[in-house]
Amino acid sequence: MTDPFDTRKTRAAAWFRTLRNQIVEAFEGLEDRYGTGAVGRFEVTPTVRADGGGGLMSVMRGGRVFEKVGVNVSEVHGVLGERAQKAMAARGVPGMAEDPRFWASGISLVAHMVNPHAPAVHMNTRMFWTPGAAWFGGGSDLNPAIEYPEDTAHFHGAMQAACDAHSPDYFPKFKAWADEYFFVPHRGRARGVGGIFYDDLNTGDWEADFAFTQAVGLAFLPAFVPVTERRVGTPFSEDDRETQLRHRGLYAEYNLVYDRGTKFGLETGHDANAVLMSLPPIAKWY
């Protein structure tokens, strides 16, 4: 029997690929317009999940603007392992014990910049399906080593505009969720200046939830590119670089210890290089 969600899965997966293409083109455009030295280009590698599905890993290294940036898309399916089932059940996902099948598709992006004054950034949006439920999740957060309040305000403003177009409740709720989610308990501080984060979004109106998730994805480039253009030419010192590398250490700690997507990707057998794409190329610790 045909799953009534099959068409929706196809639409969502196609949208994430479209967004990926837009971002890759925009980032290579930044490389063309700014900086000196070799122009960065994305290397694209297919990824495979042994139990079903795969995706594309697109990584640029050693560019003028981006020291390392990855833009990954995936569409995977299979059966959740016991640990993943327990994690889902703890979040209130119905039907895990009866039928642990799943399908998931999404886009995941992390950018680490050459200039310490230009902030690192993360963005992802995704759709997740099980026989008992289907939902969306994602968000975007800014991670400056050297914060500029006007950059933070611009980024948050773009995220708020995307949220407000769908519900006046979304931005305050999802901003607070990001502040909590991207906190690093063992350091007693946030990994950056936040943004928005949401998960398990299922209002009962799939079209509305999908439209909101598209809006979050479309808000990313207007939120991030102007900030990058503002900072890419700022002179920086060795002390600035040291600050950047140590901040990257904080980012790596968070992603390896706490990040839900990292844990899920590794536990469900997705390509480890794609899952760990978010890690910076160089980092330092105190």
| Catalytic machinery residues | 122
With residues binned 3-state (H G I as helix, E B as strand, rest as coil), the percentages for the chain, rounded to 5, are 45, 25, 30
Distance of CA 174 to the CA centre of its chain: 15
| End-to-end Cα, the chain, rounded Å | 57
Q: Which backbone phi and psi does 98 adopt, to 5 degrees?
A: -80, -35
Helix, strand, or coil (residue 136): strand
Specify the residue for token string 């640990």. 83
Cα-to-chain-centroid distance, residue 277: 11
Determine the Cα–Cα distance for residues 165 and 231; give it in Å rounded to an integer.
29
